[in-house]
Amino acid sequence: MRIPHISVARLKRIINDFSHSSIMVVGDSMLDEYVWGDVARISPEAPVPVVHVQSRSFRLGGAANVVQNLKSLGVTPHLISLCGDDAMGKALREKLAQTGCPQEGLIQSARRSSTVKTRIMARHQQVVRVDSETVMDLTKDEEAMLWKRFASLLREVRGVIISDYSKGVVSKSFISRILSACRKKGLFVAIDPKERHFDLYRGVSVITPNLKEAHAALGRPYPHVNDPDIEDLGWDIVRKLNVRSLLITLSERGMALFERSSGSYTHLPTVARNVFDVTGAGDTVISVYSAAMTCKAKPIEAAFLANHAAGLTVAEIGTACVTRQSLLAACCGE
């Protein structure tokens, strides 16, 4: 199906309504650390480059990046997540504060370390990534603390985003309670999924997997050479999980939207002019799509905006945020 015509006035109305929306983000928060440097020689100890470090920087990642994206769009965000009782947990809080994002729902856990993804960069090229993390499901006490915060905010929000990076916050027990509460209130629920939890996502408003995750949803191996028919793949997921909408991100090919109620499939070609880094692009997609849907957009309108937002994000190195102004300029020429 071709993308239907969407008027500029309609897009402006949706984007300007972002400031009236409030969304809760539940999931795994992390810090993205960038070590910037240059390479002038190969190590005599092993055939690897020696990076001469020039600077370090930190950016929000995971659920924290989704919150930052929503904040940048003008949406009022709330974060429900865990961090370690450590220096990186403190740095995560400080980074949230610097960007004007809420920290009250970021609970410290003495049992785990904060998740940090360290990328060694040389001349804007990633040399290696080092992950420091603790992967374990919530304890009963941790779940109780997060649930108390979630329940206290439920009346204030129009929707919930579950940002699942498979670090432990999205446990079977916790997500079941969340989805039950959201169904009772009729709230919009969007999920950025991970492979091992697909059976937990049944009946939600939308899931936003990449192509590899979409194959995992059906227990199929990911074909690295020849992709099967994406349309058939998508409808199989919709039927299996009974989701209202499915938005598969296809990297340089854009994204594919499936709408259960109308039975429509739409391929949205990429609008990115330059692709430097796809880090955090999925966070941007789910943030913009959810913001639009909580402002009474149709799924195709929300996907159209999310596709343009992704095009802006991948043009920058590292996790990046889209503002209402930049989204208006990309979609409406303003």
Phi-psi bin for 219: left (phi > 0), alpha (psi -120 to 50), beta? left
pLDDT digits (tens, 9 = 90+) for 195-206: 778 888 999 999
The pLDDT, as a whole number, for residue 199 is: 85
Q: Which fold has domain 8-31+48-332?
A: UDP-N-acetylmuramoyl-L-alanine:D-glutamate ligase (3.40.1190)
What is the rounded distance in angstroms from the CA atom of residue 165 to the CA atom of residue 20? 28
What is the rounded distance in angstroms from the CA atom of residue 57 to the CA atom of residue 36? 8
The pLDDT, as a whole number, for residue 123 is: 82
Q: Is the pLDDT of residue 293 over 80?
A: yes
More confident site: 6 or 241: 241
What is the rounded distance in angstroms from the CA atom of residue 115 to the CA atom of residue 200? 23
Q: Is the pLDDT of residue 305 over 90?
A: yes
The pLDDT, as a whole number, for residue 280 is: 63
Q: How many CB atoms lie within 10 A of CB 328?
A: 17
Q: Provide the edge-to-edge strand list for the sheet that holds 245-249.
A: 106-109, 76-84, 22-27, 159-163, 188-192, 206-207, 245-249, 255-259, 264-268
Q: How many CB atoms lie within 10 A of CB 57?
A: 11
Q: Is the pLDDT of residue 242 over 80?
A: yes
Backbone torsions φ then ψ of 327, nearest 5 degrees: -70, -40
Nearest to 214 by CA among 259, 265, 170, 249: 249
What percent of the chain shows pLDDT beyond 70? Answer: 93
What is the rounded distance in angstroms from the CA atom of residue 293 to the CA atom of residue 307? 14
What is the rounded distance in angstroms from the CA atom of residue 211 to the CA atom of residue 250? 6
More confident site: 226 or 122: 122
Question: What does the pLDDT average to over 262-285?
Answer: 78
The pLDDT, as a whole number, for residue 316 is: 61
The pLDDT, as a whole number, for residue 52 is: 93
Q: Tokens standing for 256?
A: 């594919």
The pLDDT, as a whole number, for residue 253 is: 84
Residue 283 annotated in active site: yes
The pLDDT, as a whole number, for residue 55 is: 93
Biggest alpha carbon–alpha carbon distance for the chain: 63
Residue 51, strand partner residues: 39
The pLDDT, as a whole number, for residue 186 is: 95
Give the Å distances, CA to CA, from 288 to 149, 150, 185, 270.
24, 22, 22, 16
Q: Is the pLDDT of residue 141 over 80?
A: yes
Write down the pTM of the prediction: 0.92
Nearest to 102 by CA among 48, 66, 51, 139: 66
Terminal Cα distance for the chain, rounded: 28
Q: Is the pLDDT of residue 281 over 90?
A: no
3 state SS of 108 = strand
The pLDDT, as a whole number, for residue 200 is: 86
The pLDDT, as a whole number, for residue 301 is: 96
The pLDDT, as a whole number, for residue 220 is: 85
Choose the catalytic residue: 28, 192, 277, 283. Answer: 283
Nearest to 264 by CA among 307, 303, 226, 235: 235
The pLDDT, as a whole number, for residue 101 is: 93
Task: Mark out the alpha helices in 186-323 (DSSP H runs).
Answer: 211-217, 230-241, 281-293, 299-313
What is the rounded distance in angstroms from the CA atom of residue 89 to the CA atom of residue 100? 17
3 state SS of 231 = helix
Residue boundaries of the structural domains of the chain: 8-31+48-332
pLDDT digits (tens, 9 = 90+) for 79-100: 999 999 999 999 999 999 999 9
**Mean pLDDT score of the chain, rounded to an integer?**
90
pLDDT digits (tens, 9 = 90+) for 144-190: 999 999 999 999 999 999 999 999 999 999 999 999 999 999 999 99
The pLDDT, as a whole number, for residue 271 is: 80
Q: Is the pLDDT of residue 23 over 70?
A: yes
Nearest to 29 by CA among 86, 101, 79: 79
Q: Is the pLDDT of residue 252 over 90?
A: no
The pLDDT, as a whole number, for residue 125 is: 85
At 227, the pLDDT band (50, 70, 90 cuts) reads low
